[in-house]
Amino acid sequence: MRRLSDTVERIDPPRYPALKRYILYGTAAVLLAFAGYAGWLMWRITTEFDDRAWDLPAQVYASPLELYEGRRLGIEDLQLELQRLGYGPVAGRLGPGFFRRDGGTISLWRRAFVYDGRPVPEQLLRVELAGGRVESLEDGDGGPVAIAELEPLLIGSIFPTHGEDRIILAPDEVPELLTEALKAVEDRRFEEHMGVDVRAIARAALANLRAGGISQGGSTLTMQLVRSYFLTNAQTFNRKFREALMALVLELRHSKDEIMLAYVNEIYLGQNGGRAVHGFGLASRFYFGKPLVELDVHEIALLVAIVRGPSYYDPRRNPERALARRALVLEQMRAAGLIDEQTATAAAERDIGVVTPDSRRTAYYPAFMDLVRRQLRRDYDDEDLEQRGLTIYTTMQPAVQAAAEEALVEELERLQPGRPELDGAVVVTNPHTAEVLALVGGRRTGFDGFNRALDARRQAGSLIKPVVYLAALESGRHSLATHIDDEPITVELDDGRTWSPKNIDGETHGQVTAVRALAESLNLATVHLGLDVGLERVADVFERFGIEPRGRLYPSLLLGAVELTPIDVTQVYNTLANGGFRVPLRAVRAVVDGQGRTLQRYALAIRQVADPVSIYALNQALVQVMERGTGVQARRLLPAALRTAGKTGTSDDLRDSWFAGFADGHLVVTWVGNDGNAAVNLTGGTGASQVWARVMRSVDARSYAPPPPAGAEALWIDYRTGLATDSDCPEAVFVAMTAPEVPPKAVACGSTTTRIGSRIRQWFRNRLQ
């Protein structure tokens, strides 16, 4: 009998039970890790990409150009302004962003724009210019236009330390030809795949296998977007795997239109110094100086060509390479049916068309932008300025800025031979509003670096003598007719040392009038006057004007032994030019958020800090600086009818050359010197004044002729004697005083011999300045 155990097949125990468990657990762990990694990618894309969390740098705009009858504006100036704004010249029919010049008339189709929350519609304008002024301004129907604004120039961005900058475009701001060209050239199956194109990857894998490394990527537009937004450009299999996986996730969560718009706004397209140009909106401005919607076929093709390698196909550095790539793109666009044969041929024959680096359409204004940043950071965090997409409207006038830059660069080149390396600074303001119209921080105007206009603290020298004379006038004991000793003086200091100043020419002049002492910048007379008034009273005027002398008061303060920056000097002279009313200088008018809401307007804050009669009298003396004193060389460079007031400044050993002067509506401050503080052998009258005159000559300046304030007695006095005289006398100067200060009248102008002698002395003095 067989046993049951003999009929049952023996089952052997499983082999390697531990190994199988490890494989099972390992597989589960890998799947769990992959699920966790996929979940993390999903979370990252959801939190970062879904909210379109780009850092949106604040866009900074200049002041818009206003057109009206009678405005001083030459036809070349208007054409240059239009070119800065990216308007293109045409011979035939106009469209938005184009202009036509016919003799002395410019017809233009102004683009629509928004300024400080106020929409301005597009408009056809006809501007007739003659004699350097606007003769008439009409609309497209021939009707008169009282005033018209051009859109403000984009002058820069406040971008983060990583340097990315972009202009975000809405769907209706992206030409269909661009998106279709991107598909035809970069991703033909964009509408079919789910973020990863298996065919393209297989093709790239075969090429990589043959090359023995990664030579092709097979990336779709979605993968390129992921790489730009989340990853690096490292050519590794790990990065490619993450890129593919994230592209799949992105395609699952977003439509093709959303992905394409994100690509257009995100992709890297070039480098502008320390600023990375991202997105087609900014790239269009960077390469062509105009909005993306205004690009022609050949320009769109070039931008698409650059996508493959912004450095390799840089059209400025490698134009031949860029043109060859553009030709290939145009052919692919033709093959895809986007353009016909005739259009492709015509586009291929066009020049490369990018604006040159020195074109004003692509100008960068680092010194002025520095001032804007400093003023904004009083009210906004860096994160707000760099990420929230704010729009900043500034006070800068591009034409004035260009004139200031040109004047500084060219005059420094002219003055340079035989001197240590010269540099300089220029600040231009409107004294009535304290708006900074232009600011130049050095001769390398388009480069970031040391901003001399804001940070170069230099000895002001004679430039601050007007403060001493204002203290004297306000004391009630002195007027412009007061006689002052221009004689040697030795002052014993608190530590037992002595101080013996000298005039710059080493001469003395005996008794001189106060108006002559200031006009000719006589050191000895100024010291005598300042000591008579008292250092404390002089220091008080300094403080009211926003300058606090550091430490102990020494008599050398009277001759400008105080270090100031050009912007400090500008604040002082802006107060003088504004009749003694101090208004803090400002470069920003308004800040608008990404939704068009005005966050802040920078209103004027006015404070009277000086007696109006004394200021008026002082400024009349500054007019004599230009007519008879140290400013005559600058005066000769100006139109004969233009009346200005100004003052030279020269520091010890001829290390610093300053000039500050104003007309009605414009104040210009200039400094010329050496960064290493070496002597440059230039006085204020021979150096900085030349820069000043060129700037003043180029702006729409009006003669300085303010009405006398209440209590001021305007009269003519003899420049040398201080006695009242007739206006036709050779030494007569126009001044102002209070009634009790009016001097007696001279018996006569003098004999014929005296008149001739006065004119001869005047002629020699003018030659020697």
Name beta bridge partners: 643: none
DSSP per position, 289-327 = SS-GGG--HHHHHHHHHHHT-TTTT-TTT-HHHHHHHHH
Question: Tokens 């010329």 correspond to what residue?
Answer: 672
Q: Give me the catalytic one of 81, 151, 164, 186.
A: 186
- Collapse the DSSP code of 333 into the 3-class scheme (helix H, G, I; strand E, B; otherwise coil) and give the result: helix
Q: Which residues contact 480 (CB under 8 A, 6 or more apart)?
A: 473, 513, 514, 515, 617, 620, 621, 717, 722, 735, 736, 737
Distance CA(598)–CA(601), nearest Å, equals 7
Distance CA(523)–CA(475), nearest Å, equals 20
Beta strands in 493-643 (DSSP E): 498-499, 510-513, 563-564, 581-582, 588-592, 598-601, 607-608
Tokens of 697: 């000559």
Element (H, E) at 107: strand 105-110
**CB of 577 closer than 8 Å to CB of 463:** no
- Collapse the DSSP code of 130 into the 3-class scheme (helix H, G, I; strand E, B; otherwise coil) and give the result: strand
What are the CA-CA distances from residue 703 to residues 96, 265, 406, 661, 663 (Å)?
38, 49, 23, 12, 5
Element (H, E) at 128: strand 123-130
Q: Which residues contact 446 (CB under 8 A, 6 or more apart)?
A: 358, 363, 364, 366
**CB of 693 closer than 8 Å to CB of 634:** yes
Distance CA(622)–CA(649), nearest Å, equals 13
- Please indicate whether residue 462 is annotated as part of the active site: yes
> What DSSP designation does 745 have?
B
Distance CA(291)–CA(682), nearest Å, equals 46
> What DSSP designation does 67 have?
E
Beta strands in 6-90 (DSSP E): 58-61, 66-67, 88-89
**CB of 220 closer than 8 Å to CB of 196:** yes
Distance CA(198)–CA(244), nearest Å, equals 10
**CB of 741 closer than 8 Å to CB of 762:** no
Nearest to 150 by CA among 59, 66, 76: 66
Nearest to 174 by CA among 260, 289, 286, 71: 260
Longest CA–CA span in the chain (Å) reads 167
- Please indicate whether residue 173 is annotated as part of the active site: no
- Calculate Rg over the CA atoms of the chain: 35
Distance CA(611)–CA(603), nearest Å, equals 24
Distance CA(102)–CA(91), nearest Å, equals 9
Residue 547 phi/psi, 5° resolution? -115, 125
- Collapse the DSSP code of 457 into the 3-class scheme (helix H, G, I; strand E, B; otherwise coil) and give the result: coil
Q: Give me the catalytic one of 462, 614, 651, 657.
A: 462
Nearest to 465 by CA among 508, 519, 404, 418: 519
Q: Which residues are catalytic?
A: 186, 462
